[in-house]
Amino acid sequence: MKLKEIGEFGFIERFKPLFNDLIQDNQIGIGDDCAIIPANETEDWVITTDLLVEDVHFLREAITPRQLGYKSLAVNLSDIAAMGGTPTGSFLSIAIPSSIDVEYLDEFMAGYHELSAKYGVALLGGDTTKSLKHLTINVCAMGKCAKGKARKRSMAQTGDLICVTGQLGDSAAGLKLLLEKSPRIAGYDYLLAKHHQPEPQIAEGLFLADISEVHAMMDISDGIASDLKHILKASGKAATIDVNKLPVSDILKNAAQTLDWNAEELAASGGEDYELLFTMAPENLETIQQQFAERFGKPLYVIGQIADGESIVSWMKGDKKTELGRSGFNHF
Ligand SMILES: [Mg+2]
C-alpha cells in the first residue's frame, strides 16, 4: 500500500493506539498543536516539533537563508502560541547537503537567532548531519502554560463564534506568485514576505488564553478549510463559515484582480498564514474585540459559528449556501 492511499493522518492513526497505554493520565499526546505535560504545581509544559524539507516545504533558491532560519523556528513557536503558551526553548537538527556553504548556514542561524531573541527563547541543543541532496530541518520547541489553561482543539462548544487573529490567504498568494513565476505586481514583496517570514502570534495566544470565553484554539498551517476540521473532529461539532467574512488584505484583493485569482479561495484553503483560529462563547464579544484591537492594533475577525452535528464545514455567502471546490467556491 502506498502512503498516499491513507495520507499523513491515516498513517498516524495506524500507530497511535500502540502508544495510548504508555501515556500517563495527566498527559495529552498526539493530536493537538502541542503535547501537554505537567511541569509543576502551577504550570504545564507544551511541546511541539516540525520538519521542513527542501522542495517539499521550501524552495532553496526562492527563500533567503535568513528567512529560512526565521521561519523554521516561527512555525514551531506558532504551535506554542496555539496552546496559549509562552515559549521557553528550542532544539534544532539539520541535515546539510554538500552544496551548502558555511556562509549560508551563518545566515540561517542569524535568522533563527533573530526570532529566538524576540521572544527570549534559548537554543538548547540539537544535531547536525550530512544530507545527500536536500536541506532538511527539524525544530522542537517547548513552552509553558498556566496549569490546565492550554487551549485544546477539543474544547469547541455549540454556539461558539469562530474567529481568526488576522488576514488570510496572503502567504498562499506569495507561494502562488513564486510557483507561477508571476510578474512583479503591486504588493509582490509584501505577499512573498508573508510566505517566507511568518510571525508567530505569541502575544495574541497569551491574550486569548487569559479569556474564559475562548475555548478551542489552533494555528493556521494548512488553511482554515482543512484546519477547522481538526477542531470539529476533536470537539464532535459542525461549523458554518461565511465566506463574505473571511478577512482578505487589500493587497491580496488587488493581486487577485490583476492575475485573475480567486481571493476567497486562497483565504479559505491557502495555508501557512500562522494566524490563530479559535472558538469563543459569544458573550462579551464586543468588549473582547475592543480590548484586542487596542492591544494589537488590528481587528479580531468573526468568520462563523460552531453548531451541533457531523464534523463538516458548511460554507455560506451571506445567507446563500456555497461549496468550496478545486477552483474556488461553486454556488448552488
Ligand atoms: Mg499547528
pLDDT digit string (tens) for 266-277? Answer: 999 999 999 999
What is the pLDDT, as a whole number, of residue 325?
72
Instruction: Reply yes or no on whether the pLDDT at 198 is more than 70.
Output: yes
Spacing, Cα 227 to ligand 1 middle (Å): 8
User: Residue range 26-34: average pLDDT?
Assistant: 93
Per-residue buried b or exposed e for 283-293, using 16+ beta carbons within 10 Å of the residue's own CB: eeeeebeeebe
32/231 Cα distance (integer angstroms): 9
For the chain, give every domain's residue range: 33-146, 153-331
pLDDT digit string (tens) for 156-177? Answer: 999 999 999 999 999 999 999 9
Q: Enter the C-alpha cell of residue 72.
A: 523554521
Spacing, Cα 80 to ligand 1 middle (Å): 8
Under the banding of pLDDT at 50, 70 and 90, the label for residue 315 is very high
Spacing, Cα 50 to ligand 1 middle (Å): 9
User: Residue range 73-85: average pLDDT?
Assistant: 98
- Contact 220/167 with Cβ under 8 angstroms? no
What is the pLDDT, as a whole number, of residue 157?
98
With 0-12 / 13-18 / 19 or more C-beta atoms within 10 angstroms meaning exposed / middle / buried, residue 39 is middle
Spacing, Cα 230 to ligand 1 middle (Å): 10
Q: Same topology for domains 33-146 and 153-331, yes or no?
A: no
What is the pLDDT, as a whole number, of residue 330?
58
Q: Give bridge partners of residue 228 from the DSSP assignment.
A: none
- Contact 161/239 with Cβ under 8 angstroms? no
Spacing, Cα 107 to ligand 1 middle (Å): 26
Under the banding of pLDDT at 50, 70 and 90, the label for residue 90 is very high
What is the pLDDT, as a whole number, of residue 323?
87
Spacing, Cα 219 to ligand 1 middle (Å): 5
Pairing of strands 214-219, 320-325: unpaired
In angstroms, the Cα distances linking 141 to 18, 47, 92 are: 25, 6, 9
Spacing, Cα 63 to ligand 1 middle (Å): 22
Instruction: Reply yes or no on whether the pLDDT at 154 is more than 60.
Output: yes
83/33 Cα distance (integer angstroms): 7
Question: Could you tell me which CATH number the domain at 153-331 has?
Answer: 3.90.650.10
Q: CB under 8 Å to 107, separation ≥6 — which residues?
A: 64, 65, 66, 69
Block residue for cell numbers 452535528: 309
Spacing, Cα 220 to ligand 1 middle (Å): 7
Spacing, Cα 164 to ligand 1 middle (Å): 14
pLDDT-wise least confident of 201-215, 268-282, 314-328: 314-328
Spacing, Cα 78 to ligand 1 middle (Å): 7
With 0-12 / 13-18 / 19 or more C-beta atoms within 10 angstroms meaning exposed / middle / buried, residue 178 is middle
Spacing, Cα 165 to ligand 1 middle (Å): 14
254/110 Cα distance (integer angstroms): 34
- Can you say whether the dihedral through the CA atoms of 65, 69, 74, 76 is positive or negative? positive
What is the pLDDT, as a whole number, of residue 328?
56
Spacing, Cα 253 to ligand 1 middle (Å): 26
pTM, rounded to two decimals: 0.94
- Closest C-alpha to 212, from 301, 284, 302, 306: 284
Under the banding of pLDDT at 50, 70 and 90, the label for residue 327 is low
pLDDT digit string (tens) for 8-22? Answer: 888 998 999 999 889
Neighbours of 326 (CB within 10 A): 7
Instruction: Reply yes or no on whether the pLDDT at 93 is more than 60.
Output: yes
Averaged confidence pLDDT in the chain: 95
Spacing, Cα 277 to ligand 1 middle (Å): 10
Spacing, Cα 218 to ligand 1 middle (Å): 6
Q: DSSP of 86-141, one letter per residue?
A: EEEEEEEEEEE-TT--HHHHHHHHHHHHHHHHHHT-EEEEEEEEE-SS--EEEEEE
Spacing, Cα 295 to ligand 1 middle (Å): 24
Does the domain at residues 33-146 carry the CATH identifier 3.30.1330.10? yes
What is the pLDDT, as a whole number, of residue 329?
58
pLDDT-wise least confident of 271-275, 300-304, 322-326: 322-326
